[in-house]
Amino acid sequence: MDGIASQPGSPAAASSPTTNRLDSKAEAATDSNDIEMDFDDETPLTFKPKEEQIPALPSSPPKKQTELSSGIDMDFNQLLAIFYDCIFPFREFYRWLHYGGVQKNYFLHRELSFTLSNDAYLRFKSFKDGDEMKAEILKLCPIKIDIGAVYNSEPKKRATVKDGAFKPIERELVFDIDMTDYDPIRSCCSGADICRKCWDFMTVSIKIIDRALQDDFGFKHRLWVYSGRRGVHCWVCDDRARKLTAESRRAIVNYLEVVKGGEETTRKVNLSSKGLHPSLRKANEILNPVFTQRIMNNQDILTNPEKWKNVIALIPDDDTRKRLSESWSKSNVTPAVKWGNILAEIKALSKKKPSAATAVMEIIFQHSYPRLDSNVSVGLNHLLKSPFCVHPKTGRVCIPIDPKKADSFDPFQAPKVSDLVEQIADFDLSNPESARTVPHYQKTSMKAHVEYFRKFVEELEEEAKEVFRARRAEEDKKLQF
């Protein structure tokens, strides 16, 4: 089966909410996604909407919601339908997954999956072009879109392929970093909850992983995306990254992973005392100041007795651990003083036991280094939430994050779909003369995020041009003989 059949009350069974809420409807030239690229044309692609092609919002848009309920209600579905029709960057989204059309049927063989508001889960959806994809999304109004692999045939026609012959062949190298994996070391929040204190873990994760992907592996096209609630995703889109085997992906993950072991494992970081890898030295340059100035205090690592006992348990000497524990239990010293005690004790210990020299760094890494979900990165057929989804529990859009500005990214400032709809209405009321000529996303706080994504896609297309030209030059060279 290609998916789950429509059920009464589902978006697929009901009339499209789009037709009910818009005063007029026309296909915009800016939304025409079935593009044919001329790789000899150096003129950058531009998309200028025509006046009559900007759909209007309903005269009475939904009232702003300060918080969305935990369930999916009609208010959210109506807002989501407007978001898809007016703001979701279909054009850029298709161009991204089309990758310049260098490989035949690349988009046609890509799997997308939809989760609907009635919990129906539709896997192995595939589309011939961007227009067909957009029409299906507008019709179904999925509360979640996941992106899968590029297969050796159309995913929606997999039933026509021999058993065992339908296989994934390519996929971006992806990374999923979720805040719940930090529950053993964070004290400010737990589960799906986050705050600005624990967001430090995501900030350092972006900076460390992005630096390694760029400097150590030479990947150029890295798209970081806020998950909409409690984590971040990274899409490495270079041509050679998409062609990596599962074994190669595992090797990259193993290279990046430092924190290993479950709850029963006390010592989750083991660094070599004979010489630290340059990549880990660079990671330490990022982690050390953040740990000592923010994480150590914000997460009560040396304030809570239960937590500081876990810290000194990482010191490889019984006498040292006992001495610190007795001293701290008898006096009320500050975290800064305790950290100074640890540094002094390990420095003295390392003179007698050189293997203890890495203990300080192991403590820092265990309490702040990125924690990766390796299964997401390694499996070619693993699905990952699409950029620009709207998280149904928070109402926030999964927007791109500039890794160069990771320090200033605030997840609580990510656009909420209810605010975006109101921003469009406010703009149209204040600017009636341009209400139908300005694209809706430009009327909202999504403008900068869509433009950042567009620039990312344009850089990918430049690489596609280079691949195409190299291929044609090679073919011309063969013809000369």
Q: 131 an active-site residue?
A: no
Q: Are strands 144-151 and 121-125 parallel, antiparallel or unpaired?
A: unpaired
* Active-site annotation holder among 92, 172, 178, 422: 178
* Active-site annotation holder among 172, 176, 345, 428: 176
Q: With beta carbons less than 8 A apart as the criterion, state whether 4 and 121 touch.
A: yes
Q: How many CB atoms lie within 10 A of CB 80?
A: 24
* Active-site annotation holder among 111, 200, 362, 419: 111
Residue type, 461: E
Tokens (6 digits) for 201:
């873990």
Q: 111 an active-site residue?
A: yes
Q: 176 an active-site residue?
A: yes
What amino acid positions are annotated as catalytic residues?
111, 176, 178
